[in-house]
Amino acid sequence: MDKTAIYYDIAYATQHSSQKMDIYEPSLDGVEPGTLFPLMVYVHGGFWMDRDKSDYLTMGRYFASKGIVVAVVNYRLSKKAHKVPVRYPTHNQDLAQAISWLVDNQSDYRYDSNNIHLVGHSCGAHMISMIALKPTDYLTPSSPYTIRSCIGIQGIYDISQLIRDYPDYISEIEFVFNSSSDWEAPQQIVSHGRSDYNASLKWLIVHAPTDQLVNPPQSSNFVTHLSQQCKYTNVESFTDAQGSHFAVVMKLGEEEEKSLDNLRSAILTFIK
């Protein structure tokens, strides 16, 4: 029996109804009292404008069944229908508020806020990387914390390059940004060095060669940037995953999806 406890719709801020997350807590059966689990913060993709935490229910349950607390975060989305536009970098600021909330409220849950792992898919990988490279620009918790690793999956890291490679995307994501200067150098993530807050931060950069929506050089170039410009010494690239841009993460928690066994175990080994 799956004894994962799921806490739905926990509000981490009060400016907007999207500022909520679902927290999956592993069963405490057979676990020594006082044990603190690692915390995975999962950030969904959807081009900063679509999708929802509820798509990741099986993924949350899966990693919780392996002894990880999982927080699947929603953030304000840039919707064309919004009267007051939500624009970049609001998404990053919401994610930062979620992480800060998790650090400050750790005593209510069973995770260790010195053992945080950020996982982001597609634009979510861009979001976690922005925060991990410049944590003090974003994070404001009042308690100590350590982000130990970042796992980017089918990530966007270089928006200018993405638009050069897929010119049609500009009309889709234009309204996410105030202007192109939001993503041109020097604001570009690939122009950022690291801040020296956490030199031992580990990176796992995952990209399936079968991704048709975001091309794998986004990831391989970011790996080079992290090692050469940022001088991170623990950067791993993982390309042994099969599936479309979204299938890789939507099916990640389905154990019957054998083609994702390698990725599941790579992530577990990386976090543990």
Ligand X SMILES: N[C@@H](CC(=O)c1ccccc1NC=O)C(=O)O
Binding site for ligand X (CB under 6 A): 45-47, 49-51, 122-123, 213-214
Taking the least distance from each CB to ligand X, the nearer of 107 and 212 is 212
Instruction: Report the nearest approach of ligand X to the CB of residue 50 (Å).
Output: 4
Give the torsion sign (CA, 171, 175, 178, 184): negative
Catalytic residue flag (residue 182):
no
Please tell me which residue in 22, 94, 158, 211 is annotated as part of the active site: 211
Catalytic residue flag (residue 104):
no
Taking the least distance from each CB to ligand X, the nearer of 124 and 135 is 124
Instruction: Report the nearest approach of ligand X to the CB of residue 228 (Å).
Output: 26
- Tell me, rounded to whole angstroms, the distance of Cα 183 from its chain centroid: 19
Instruction: Report the nearest approach of ligand X to the CB of residue 144 (Å).
Output: 32
Quote the crossing angle between the two packed helices 90-104 and 123-133, to the nearest 10°. 60
HEC-encoded secondary structure of 209-247: CCCCCCCCHHHHHHHHHHHHHCCCCCEEEECCCCCCCCH
Taking the least distance from each CB to ligand X, the nearer of 50 and 255 is 50
Please say whether the beta carbons of 135 and 58 come within 8 A. no
Please say whether the beta carbons of 203 and 128 come within 8 A. no
Catalytic residue flag (residue 122):
yes
Any idea which residue has 């990176």 for tokens? 203
Taking the least distance from each CB to ligand X, the nearer of 68 and 123 is 123
Instruction: Report the nearest approach of ligand X to the CB of residue 154 (Å).
Output: 8
Residues carrying an active site annotation: 122, 211, 245
